Amino acid sequence: MDGRTARVCPVTVRSEPSHDRQILRDLARRYAAVAADPVQDQRRELWRRHNSLRPTRPLIYARVEGGNAVDELPQVHELQCRDPFWHGVEHWLRLQLFKATLGDDFVFEQFVSVSAVHACAGWGVESARHYSDEPQGSYKVDYVLRSLEDVAKLRPPRHEIDEAKTAERFARVREAIGDIIEVDLNRGPAWLMWTGDLSTDLGYLRGIENLMTDIMMNPEGVHRLVRFMGEGVLRAHDQAEQAGDWGLSNHQNQSIPYAEELPGPKANCRGVKRSQLWGYVASQEFELFGPDQQEEFLLRYQRPILEKFGLAAYGCCENLTGKIDMLRSIPNLRRIAVAPRADLRSCAEQIGADYVISWRPNPAEMICLGCDEQAMRRKIRDGLEICRGLHVDICLKDVTSVQHEPQRFAVWVRAVRAAIEDAWG
């Protein structure tokens, strides 16, 4: 790790219109004040101990992003910048400022990240999505791989950055707000999280129902497809490491990435090895497959990717109750998701104190369909009694709606804190 500075092409920085500039700078100042609050260091230490399997109280994370409820937060999604270029930055800053009002254990870092523009991303094909006419309606995917023989259509992943476009993007953001808060250039590879866990793209490329049939009728064809994808992601990760493009802003664990074994998030500190970072994958599309099938057709290809990282987190919304023993084959595993459909008691008994339990209570029962603070408190307290003495954090995620009452997020945090006091003391 050498903390090398951004490798970008020279670019002429244009002055931003005063209207957009004023909005961005005001938001950046407010966010910088939040990130500089000493409470952030206290939270970092809590997460560092927690993720290193040392005793702490249960930690709380209200994951506002990732669900349609964010569209019901006018203070977040009603953007004011006129230039569409700024909408991503503005949305991110407004989202962080909203999250800062909730009082959970989220850590706000003292930088804003700008992602590099990748010259190669995806698999060289695009699955068409046919959306319903309803607002926030569903869609049907027109799968690209009509048969397993179509694997030849896919482009092998490679780590390649468009340096000119990246330089322009980074320079504009840094010129606008870089004197207020540090701007990080994220040069990590394109295949991370959902683009790199194999399972998600298998769903989009081939379809879950087709994959189920394929595993029965053409298992070798499935192996060829997933092997191609797994080797491709691993190769792109290797190329990014050889190029010195992995940075300390590339931690991924669907939570707060602090641990005593690893350096914490930091801006513009590249040239790190994956062994210094958190890695993350999930298997949502494989929920209805048995553990033997998931091991054979997915985990065996995910494992080499995860093993390169210092610590690993597994799972999102899928029910992993019957697959905990399977996950123990991941040597650097540290966090396991316990989703709403999972059996919390069974998972807690199987996981014990060997890993962190990332418990995700059902958001519908919490805040989507109402806001009964006492009911939330009882349900969380009951779950914490099951997890007594274990390493558990509580994550509210995938919130589809708050019925246009954004304050429900803060009510949930308050109820969880009360439940922790009830159950943990």
Task: Give me the CATH number covering residue 203.
Answer: 3.20.20.210
5 part of a folded domain: no
DSSP string, 219-275: HHHHHHHHHHHHHHHHHHHHHHHHTT--BTT---SSS----TTSPPP-TT-B---GG
Q: What is the SS3 assignment for 206?
A: coil
Q: What angle do CA 82, 84, 86 make, to 5 degrees?
A: 85
Query: Which token pair is 66?
Result: 């990732």
pTM, to two decimals:
0.93
Q: What is the mean pLDDT of each run of 10 residues along the chain (425 residues)?
A: 46 64 97 98 98 98 90 90 96 97 98 97 86 82 91 94 97 97 98 96 94 96 97 98 98 97 97 98 97 98 98 98 98 98 98 98 96 97 96 97 96 98 88
137 burial (CB, 10 Å; 0-12 / 13-18 / 19+) is exposed
CB 196, CB 305: distance < 8 Å = yes
* pLDDT of res. 424: 85
Distances 101 to 110, 186, 373, 414 between C-alpha atoms, Å = 17, 27, 18, 12
1 part of a folded domain: no
CA pair distance 56, 47, nearest whole angstrom: 9
392-396 vs 356-359, strand pairing mode: parallel
CA-nearest of 97, 95, 103 to 62 is 103
* pLDDT of res. 76: 87
312 part of a folded domain: yes
**Where in the sequence is the domain holding 410, given as residue range(s)?**
18-424
3 part of a folded domain: no
411 part of a folded domain: yes
**How many domains is the chain partitioned into structurally?**
1
Residue type, 213: T
4 part of a folded domain: no
CA pair distance 70, 282, nearest whole angstrom: 23
CA pair distance 40, 100, nearest whole angstrom: 11
58 part of a folded domain: yes
CB 137, CB 71: distance < 8 Å = no
Backbone angles phi, psi at 111, to 5 degrees: -160, 160
Residue type, 175: E
366 part of a folded domain: yes
* pLDDT of res. 16: 58
* pLDDT of res. 405: 96
* pLDDT of res. 408: 97
